Amino acid sequence: MSADQNRSDMIRAMARGDWGTADRLLAEIGDKGLREGPQTITAAFFVAVQRRFGETPDLQQIANFVATTRQRYADGHELPALAMEGMIRGALGEADLLDGIAPDVAFSAQIVILGTLLQDEQWTEAELEEFIRDVEQTAAQYM
């Protein structure tokens, strides 16, 4: 399976809540030494956040989303709420909020937030494929 296919399948798995497949594909991408796996997650995160919260986000809406997301996961209380809010706001243009968020915390927050955003959308297959094309185009700009 190609790296491109792995990345696309990883996003599909996350959208379906198939975390076993998503974790396996991310590990395979990492095992091959490809840096595009995490970059694809970051691109998907940015595209999904922008679609969900738009250009003029409501800060209370972001805080409520983060609180709800943390409640959805068994270990959600371990996720730093302020870092999660900062990640979302950073994706919406407040890049300075990303400073000081440790890379491992940022990546974990992206995975959880992205998974929640994708599952909340409940897209049709065509809509999911359109999202994946947008992500691939965004990721290609930075790889």
Phi-psi region of 45 (alpha: psi -120 to 50; beta: other; left: phi over 0): alpha
Domain ranges of the chain: 3-142
Q: What is the pLDDT of residues 70-116, one digit of tens each?
A: 988 777 677 899 999 999 999 999 999 999 899 888 888 888 899 89
Kindly indicate the confidence band of residue 33, based on its pLDDT and cuts at 50, 70 and 90: low
Kindly indicate the confidence band of residue 30, based on its pLDDT and cuts at 50, 70 and 90: low
pLDDT at 72: 86
Compute the residue count for the chain: 143
Identify the CA nearest to 13 among candidates 36, 44, 43, 34. 44
Single pTM value for the model: 0.84
